[in-house]
């Protein structure tokens, strides 16, 4: 046909295919295809959900290596056994020294939970030290995942002890939360310690020092500082005194003139010991234990020390119990201090790593 130009036979692929125009293609169909296309590029890089999903996926891949190692589960088993052994040994020692007049129901259960927090702190620091590569959110999530594994096995054993010896079952739930947080926070302390040095040995020494201070040293320092908190205050006479089942004063009114009395202002130093994992979870257990339980009474000592002398000596400055400030749970203070220390160590580790990188990049 004259109107159709001649083309070389089949030299161009697809030349013989019919030619047609899609009506409205640029208005309707293409728009639909754009909506169905996957969102890539700047959207995936800036959308918060993409970052969270990536961090969770990387944390899981990092943690899965631990879950497939029998060394990880052996460490968990040893930590649980250590917690039970320390609780049982402390009860035996207390009974031998007359701490308890009779056998205390649920004493092993009440003490095993705080010692599980101690095991979580030590294991968390070790796991964080050995797995220090990656971003902070990923490492924090990895530590939390390892903490969930330890909490599941440890609190399972804790529940068995509670069913055998008795005790508040709610303590196991609180222990799960604290164990996960302890593994995550102490894991960051281990990460920061490793990053502070190019070689592993000095980093391990720093991690040991920090963990030892948080688990033992802070209590020793607090006890040594107690005599320095003694001072004289003015008190009046308490009336209409109310006590709880353990005999501690919980409410009173004040009358009469003021007179000097020597007290210990333990609230000035008690915050040092709140970062101790044993005392941290122990203070939670004290709130859940029966008021007349001597072990619960012993575990509540840190909270009463943090509240100051007004809890032990009524009518300080002539002020009744209604005017006292509410107590701040020492567990929250302890977790905040642990988080602050972890942040400081991480900042120091990042700074040292940047210095080493800059030094290695210099010529000569």
Same domain, 316 and 254: yes
Residue 16 domain flag:
no
Residue 22 in any domain: the answer is: no
Q: What is the reported pLDDT for 4?
A: 45
Judge whether 250 lies within some domain: yes
Domain contains 33: no
pLDDT at 21 over 60: no
Whether 166 is in a domain gets the answer yes
pLDDT of residue 98: 77
Q: Are residues 126 and 262 in the same domain?
A: no
Residues 222 and 272 in one domain: no
Same domain (yes/no): 317, 337: no
- What does the alpha-carbon distance between residue 272 and residue 275 come to, in Å, rounded to a whole number? 7
Pair (113, 218) in one structural domain: yes
Q: Would you say residue 311 lies in a domain? A: yes
Mean pLDDT of 130-142: 91
Confidence band (pLDDT; 50, 70, 90) for 203? very high
- Name the token pair of 259: 């007179």
Beta carbons within 8 Å of 322's beta carbon, 6+ residues apart: 251
**What confidence tier does 180 reach under pLDDT thresholds 50, 70, 90?**
very high
The domain in which residue 282 lies consists of 230-329
Number of structural domains (the chain) is: 2
The mean pLDDT of 348-363, rounded to a whole number, is 87
Across the range 336-358, mean pLDDT stands at: 94
CA dist., res. 269 & res. 60, Å (int): 40
What pLDDT does residue 35 have? 41
Q: Same structural domain for residues 259 and 285?
A: yes
Q: What CA–CA distance (Å, rounded) separates 328 from 110?
A: 22
60 and 200 share one domain: yes
Residues 114 and 215 both lie in one domain: yes
Tell me the pLDDT of the chain averaged across its residues. Answer: 83
81 in the same domain as 62: yes
Angle at 115 between CA 113 and CA 116, to 5 degrees: 65
Are residue 348 and residue 250 in the same domain, yes or no? no
The phi and psi torsions of 68 (rounded to 5 degrees) equal: -90, 5
């Amino acid at each position: 046909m004259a109107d159709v130009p001649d083309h070389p036979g089949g030299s161009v692929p697809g030349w013989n295919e019919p030619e047609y125009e899609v009506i409205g293609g640029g208005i309707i169909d293409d728009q639909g295809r754009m909506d169905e296309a996957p969102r890539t590029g700047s959207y995936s890089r800036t959308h918060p959900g993409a970052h969270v999903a990536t961090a969770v996926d990387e944390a899981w891949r990092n943690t899965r290596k631990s879950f497939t190692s029998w060394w990880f589960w052996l460490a968990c088993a040893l930590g649980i056994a250590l917690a039970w052994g320390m609780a049982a040994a402390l009860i035996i020692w207390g009974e031998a020294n007359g701490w308890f007049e009779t056998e205390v129901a649920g004493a092993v259960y009440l003490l095993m939970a705080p010692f599980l927090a101690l095991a979580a702190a030590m294991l968390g620091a070790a796991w964080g030290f050995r797995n220090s590569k990656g971003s902070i959110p990923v490492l924090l999530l990895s530590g939390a995942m390892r903490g969930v594994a330890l909490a599941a096995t440890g609190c399972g054993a804790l529940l068995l002890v509670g069913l055998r010896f008795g005790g508040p079952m709610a303590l196991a739930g609180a222990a799960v939360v604290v164990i996960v947080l302890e593994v995550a926070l102490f894991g960051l302390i281990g990460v920061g310690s490793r990053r502070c040095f190019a070689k592993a040995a000095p980093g391990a020494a720093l991690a040991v020092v920090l963990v030892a201070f948080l688990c033992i040293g802070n209590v020793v320092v607090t006890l040594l500082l107690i005599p320095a908190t003694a001072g004289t205050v003015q008190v009046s006479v308490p009336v209409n005194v109310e006590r709880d089942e353990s005999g501690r004063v919980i409410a009173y009114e004040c009358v009469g003139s003021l007179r000097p009395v020597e007290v210990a202002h333990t609230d000035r130093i008690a915050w040092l010991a709140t970062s101790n994992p044993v005392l941290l979870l122990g203070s939670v257990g004290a709130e859940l234990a029966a008021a007349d339980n001597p072990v619960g009474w012993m575990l509540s000592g840190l909270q009463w020390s943090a509240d100051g002398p007004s809890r032990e000596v009524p009518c300080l400055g002539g002020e009744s119990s209604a005017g006292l400030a509410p107590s701040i749970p020492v567990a929250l203070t302890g977790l905040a201090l642990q988080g602050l220390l972890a942040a400081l160590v991480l900042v120091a580790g990042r700074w040292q790593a940047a210095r080493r990188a800059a030094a290695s990049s210099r010529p000569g």
